[in-house]
Chain A
Amino acid sequence: MHEKLIFEHSRTGRTATAQFPAAEPADIPAGLRRTKRPLLPEVSELQAVRHFTRLSQLNFSIDTHFYPLGSCTMKYNPRACNTLAMLPEFLSRHPYSPDATGQGFLGCLYELQEMLREVTGMQGVSLTPMAGAQGEFAGVAMMRAYHQARGDLARVEIIVPDAAHGTNPATATMCGCKVVEIPSLPNGDIDIDALKRVVGPATAGIMLTNPSTLGVFERRIAEVAGIVHDAGGLLYYDGANLNAILGKVRPGDMGFDVIHMNLHKTFSTPHGGGGPGSGAVGVGKRLLPFMPIPVVGKEGNQYRWLTEKDLPQSIGRLSGFMGNAGVLLRAYIYMRMLGRAGMQRVSEYATLNANYLLARLKAAGFDAAYSDRRASHEFIITLKRQSRDLGVSAMDFAKRLLDHGFHAPTTYFPLLVPECLLIEPTETEAKEELDAFVDAMAAILAEAGTDPDKLHSAPHTLPVRRLDDVRAAKQLDLTWKAAQA
Chain B
Amino acid sequence: MPFIPHTDTDVRDMLATIGVPSIDALFDEIPASLRGAALAGVPEALTEMDIARLMQERATQDGKPLNFIGAGAYEHHIPAAVWSIVTRGEFYSAYTPYQAEASQGTLQLLYEYQTMIASLTGMQVSNASLYDGASAVAEAALMAVRAHRRSTSARILLPATLNPIYRQVTRAIAGNQSLNFEMLPYVPGSGTTDATALDKWKGQDVTALVIQQPNFFGQLEDVDALTDWAHANGALVIAVVNPTSLALLKPPGEWGQKGVDIVVGEGQPLGVPLAGGGPYFGFMTARMEHVRQMPGRIVGRTLDLDGKPGFTLTLQAREQHIRRTKATSNICTNQGLLVTAATIYLSIVGPEGLERVAAASQVRTRELVEALTKIRGVRAVFSGPRFHEAVLTLDRPVGPVLEALAAQGIVGGYSLAEHYPELGNALLVCATETRNSNDIARYAAALASLLA
B438 interface residue per 8 A CB criterion: no
- Residue from the list A7, A86, A276 in contact with B335, Cβ < 8 A: A276
Determine the chain B residues whose CB is within 8 A of the CB of A340 once the complex forms.
39-40, 42-45
Shortest distance from the beta carbon of B111 to any chain A beta carbon, whole Å: 7
A374 interface residue per 8 A CB criterion: yes
Contact indicator A80/B102 (Cβ below 8 Å): no
- Residue from the list A42, A341, A459 in contact with B351, Cβ < 8 A: A42
Q: Which of A39, A82, A97 has the most CB atoms of chain B within a 10 A radius of its CB?
A: A97
Give me 6 other A-B pairs in contact (C-beta within 8 A), A340-B45, A428-B5 excluded. A26-B366, A57-B90, A77-B93, A270-B93, A275-B279, A413-B321
| Cα A104 to Cα B83 with chains together (Å) | 24
B166 interface residue per 8 A CB criterion: yes
Contact indicator B4/A92 (Cβ below 8 Å): no
Contact indicator B333/A5 (Cβ below 8 Å): no
A381 interface residue per 8 A CB criterion: no
Q: Mark B270-292, 1 if CB is under 8 A from A, else 0.
A: 00011111111100000010010
Closest to A62 in B: B93
Shortest distance from the beta carbon of B29 to any chain A beta carbon, whole Å: 5
Interface with A: B63-71, B143-151, B197-205, which one? B63-71
Contact indicator B301/A40 (Cβ below 8 Å): no
For the side of the interface on A, what is the size category?
Answer: 35 or more
| Cα A323 to Cα B281 with chains together (Å) | 11
- Residue from the list A58, A62, A165, A172 in contact with B104, Cβ < 8 A: A58
Contact indicator A55/B105 (Cβ below 8 Å): yes
Interface with B: A229-237, A331-339, A443-451, which one? A331-339
Contact indicator A63/B89 (Cβ below 8 Å): yes
A175 interface residue per 8 A CB criterion: yes
Contact indicator B298/A478 (Cβ below 8 Å): yes
| Cα A221 to Cα B15 with chains together (Å) | 27
Contact indicator A45/B348 (Cβ below 8 Å): yes
Determine the chain B residues whose CB is within 8 A of the CB of A366 once the complex forms.
none
Contact indicator B73/A32 (Cβ below 8 Å): no
Determine the chain A residues whose CB is within 8 A of the CB of B250 once the complex forms.
31-35
- We find that the number of chain B residues with CB closer than 8 angstroms to chain A is 202
Determine the chain A residues whose CB is within 8 A of the CB of B315 once the complex forms.
473, 476
A53 interface residue per 8 A CB criterion: yes
Shortest distance from the beta carbon of A220 to any chain B beta carbon, whole Å: 9
Shortest distance from the beta carbon of B367 to any chain A beta carbon, whole Å: 11
A144 interface residue per 8 A CB criterion: yes
Closest 3 CB pairs between A and B?
A: A339-B45, A63-B89, A272-B337
Shortest distance from the beta carbon of B311 to any chain A beta carbon, whole Å: 8
A42-66, CB < 8 A from B: 42-43, 45, 48-49, 51-65
A166 interface residue per 8 A CB criterion: yes
Interface with B: A192-200, A281-289, A351-359, A384-392, which one? A351-359
Determine the chain A residues whose CB is within 8 A of the CB of B303 once the complex forms.
467-468, 471
- Residue from the list B26, B93, B357 in contact with A63, Cβ < 8 A: B93
B12-37, CB < 8 A from A: 13-15, 17-20, 23-24, 26-31, 33-37
Interface with A: B112-120, B152-160, B230-238, which one? B112-120
A-B contact pairs, 14 of them (CB 8 A): A39-B119, A48-B344, A52-B344, A89-B63, A92-B67, A131-B334, A132-B332, A219-B30, A274-B335, A316-B169, A316-B172, A343-B39, A343-B42, A463-B101
Determine the chain B residues whose CB is within 8 A of the CB of A465 once the complex forms.
101, 304-306, 308
Contact indicator B135/A134 (Cβ below 8 Å): yes
Contact indicator A339/B26 (Cβ below 8 Å): no
Determine the chain A residues whose CB is within 8 A of the CB of B40 once the complex forms.
118, 340
A479 interface residue per 8 A CB criterion: yes
B206 interface residue per 8 A CB criterion: no
Shortest distance from the beta carbon of B303 to any chain A beta carbon, whole Å: 5
- Residue from the list B104, B118, B126, B172 in contact with A463, Cβ < 8 A: B104
| Cα A340 to Cα B44 with chains together (Å) | 5
Closest to B177 in A: A176
Shortest distance from the beta carbon of B248 to any chain A beta carbon, whole Å: 6
Contact indicator B18/A28 (Cβ below 8 Å): no
- Residue from the list B43, B57, B101, B247 in contact with A464, Cβ < 8 A: B101
Contact indicator B93/A61 (Cβ below 8 Å): yes
Contact indicator A32/B223 (Cβ below 8 Å): yes
Q: Mark B94-109, 1 if CB is under 8 A from A, else 0.
A: 1111111111111011
Closest to A429 in B: B5
Q: A320-B133, A359-B18 are in contact. Are A118 and B41 (CB under 8 A)?
A: yes
Shortest distance from the beta carbon of B425 to any chain A beta carbon, whole Å: 17
A154 interface residue per 8 A CB criterion: no
Determine the chain B residues whose CB is within 8 A of the CB of A60 once the complex forms.
94, 99, 102-103
Contact indicator A431/B101 (Cβ below 8 Å): no
A301 interface residue per 8 A CB criterion: no
Contact indicator B246/A479 (Cβ below 8 Å): no
B190 interface residue per 8 A CB criterion: no
- Residue from the list A275, A398, A467 in contact with B310, Cβ < 8 A: A467
Determine the chain A residues whose CB is within 8 A of the CB of B87 once the complex forms.
82
A27 interface residue per 8 A CB criterion: yes
Q: Mark B42-74, 1 if CB is under 8 A from A, else 0.
A: 111111100110111111111111010101110
Determine the chain B residues whose CB is within 8 A of the CB of A114 once the complex forms.
41
A98 interface residue per 8 A CB criterion: yes
Contact indicator B62/A89 (Cβ below 8 Å): yes
Q: Which of B43, B95, B120, B308 has the most CB atoms of chain A within a 10 A radius of its CB?
A: B95
Shortest distance from the beta carbon of A43 to any chain B beta carbon, whole Å: 6
Interface with A: B180-188, B322-330, B439-447, which one? B322-330
| Cα A356 to Cα B337 with chains together (Å) | 33
Contact indicator B39/A119 (Cβ below 8 Å): yes
Determine the chain B residues whose CB is within 8 A of the CB of A103 once the complex forms.
61-62
| Cα A118 to Cα B75 with chains together (Å) | 36
Determine the chain B residues whose CB is within 8 A of the CB of A7 once the complex forms.
112, 115
Contact indicator B347/A20 (Cβ below 8 Å): no
Q: Mark A314-338, 1 if CB is under 8 A from B, else 0.
A: 0111111111111101000101111
Contact indicator A428/B3 (Cβ below 8 Å): yes
- Residue from the list B109, B297, B360 in contact with A52, Cβ < 8 A: B109
Contact indicator A176/B349 (Cβ below 8 Å): no
| Cα A245 to Cα B59 with chains together (Å) | 33
B353 interface residue per 8 A CB criterion: yes
B324-381, CB < 8 A from A: 324-327, 329-338, 340, 343-344, 346-360, 362-363, 366
Shortest distance from the beta carbon of A135 to any chain B beta carbon, whole Å: 10
A186 interface residue per 8 A CB criterion: no
Shortest distance from the beta carbon of B447 to any chain A beta carbon, whole Å: 15
Q: A39-B119, A115-B42, A478-B125 are in contact. Are A320 and B280 (CB under 8 A)?
A: yes
Determine the chain B residues whose CB is within 8 A of the CB of A345 once the complex forms.
1, 4
| Cα A158 to Cα B223 with chains together (Å) | 42
Q: A87-B59, A276-B279, A339-B44 are in contact. Are A34 and B248 (CB under 8 A)?
A: yes
Contact indicator A337/B274 (Cβ below 8 Å): no
B394 interface residue per 8 A CB criterion: no
Shortest distance from the beta carbon of A61 to any chain B beta carbon, whole Å: 4
Contact indicator B61/A468 (Cβ below 8 Å): no
Q: A34-B251, A97-B67 are in contact. Are A51 and B324 (CB under 8 A)?
A: no
B79 interface residue per 8 A CB criterion: yes
Shortest distance from the beta carbon of A287 to any chain B beta carbon, whole Å: 16
Closest to B172 in A: A316
Contact indicator A61/B94 (Cβ below 8 Å): yes
Determine the chain B residues whose CB is within 8 A of the CB of A59 once the complex forms.
90-91, 94, 102-106
Contact indicator A272/B325 (Cβ below 8 Å): no
Contact indicator B353/A16 (Cβ below 8 Å): yes
A462 interface residue per 8 A CB criterion: yes
Determine the chain A residues whose CB is within 8 A of the CB of B340 once the complex forms.
272-273
A442 interface residue per 8 A CB criterion: no
Q: A94-B73, A170-B329 are in contact. Are A61 and B92 (CB under 8 A)?
A: yes
| Cα A144 to Cα B338 with chains together (Å) | 33
Contact indicator A275/B62 (Cβ below 8 Å): no
Q: Which of A45, A52, A216, A245 has the most CB atoms of chain B within a 10 A radius of its CB?
A: A52
Determine the chain A residues whose CB is within 8 A of the CB of B326 once the complex forms.
173
Q: A93-B62, A274-B95 are in contact. Are A58 and B306 (CB under 8 A)?
A: no
- Residue from the list A34, A51, A144, A166 in contact with B249, Cβ < 8 A: A34
